[in-house]
Structure 1
Amino acid sequence: MENISLVIMEKEKDTGFLSRELGSYEVKYDTEYVSSIYASREDENLYVNMYLTVPGEFEDWKYNAILDNYDTGLYKDKALLAEEDEDSYNPGWVIKFLFLENDNEMEEKINELLGIHVSELERVLSQLKNIEDEYRD
């Protein structure tokens, strides 16, 4: 697969508008796993909010099983926040981390976090058949 770029824009706190491009970063994973990404200022820091998702359509039991079995603890030492995105149509998570000024470091960080997501999804999705009875009741 060809590398694809993600663009991070700064989102204005007061208006919610995307005001300026902070950078464009090549990702090694399919961008369909990222539903949204932007940076916003809090205090003196600039943080990236990356919204991760699972592409496709899911029955209710699969939706719940994916969310219940996805381990956000994998991001513990990699991000400031990793939690379920309750507003997402598909199972989704918000990963928040500090924006890195160095383009190479930022690109590595994004790819590292996407790699964790893709690996964890593969694990969870492979277990769905084994836990279907628990969730269909």
Structure 2
Amino acid sequence: MRLLHWSRLAPGSALANLEKALAAEQNPKLKEAMEKAKSRVQTAKDCDGKGIACFKEKLKDQNAQVRERAAYELLWANTDESRDGLVEALADKDNETRYAAIMGVLRRMPADGVTVADKVKAQLDSERGQAQYIRINEDLKRLEVRLRRGY
């Protein structure tokens, strides 16, 4: 769990130390977790100094950990531009990425909240009954209500 949180926060400069630790690790389960963490830290390194546009592009990556880190970076940026990137990530198939997107949009509500709420409602309707989204979609339902109410 600590490795997960660390990899969400670590700067790209920490990648070299992580690679050294990964090379020395003997435990296969820990090594697998470190590989996932590495992709998150690699994302931070790839976008270091490139701004929000780089992280918005990373939201399209095939790797769920890359998308998750990009979503958290956009959440922390807390700008209109970063929020607009997160609106698309509300429909991400990965729950962690989706959670970061929900929190980012909640922090900085869009001016066209009803339009976004309509998209969220359509998404919720299409995902009804899909067990993997039951818990995260409760947060999405709360977001929809706040978007419609404008606060």
State if a TM-score over 0.5 links the two structures: no
Q: Which has the higher contact order (CA 8 A, sep 6+)?
A: 1
TM-score, normalised with respect to structure 2? 0.24
Larger radius of gyration: 2
Higher helix proportion (structure 1 or 2): 2
TM-score, normalised with respect to structure 1? 0.26
Higher strand proportion (structure 1 or 2): 1
